[in-house]
Amino acid sequence: QVQLVESGGGLVQAGGSLRLSCAASGGTFSRYAMAWFRQASGKEREFVAAIRGSGSRIYYADSVKGRFSISRDNAKNTVYLQMNSLKPEDTAVYFCAALQFDSYYLKVRTDDYDYWGQGTQVTVSS
């Protein structure tokens, strides 16, 4: 069983930056593909970014490409999401997720992921 705990959310003005962290425990972290999703109030959870266990492949949603950066430190069992040039439409609860069976093609559906964190709120004011 893998436990995921997100941190780093908060309130920021438009154009600002935040870095989210997700600490994992209970599994062999380097074997898991990791992803970030977000869910705005009244909307479905949507894919943001994913990274392979080795860090060799990364994939972003079009809405965040060029502004957000996903990375991982397997020695620290942690995945990060650096968010720059934030917009009010980025306001959401951000979740990290782990996929037990890593593969070349990164997954973007919520149903593909096995473990989830509790989420951290990001609010971007205009």
Transcribe 105-118 into DSSP letters: SPP-SGGG-SEE--
In the block, which residue shows the tokens 């934030």?
86
Question: 56 has which bridge partners?
Answer: none
- What confidence tens digit (pLDDT) does each residue in 72-122 have? 999 999 999 999 999 999 999 999 999 998 888 899 999 999 999 999 999
Q: What is the mean pLDDT of residues 49-78?
A: 97
CA angle 28/6/15 to nearest 5° reads: 130
Tell whether the model's pLDDT for residue 69 goes beyond 90.
yes
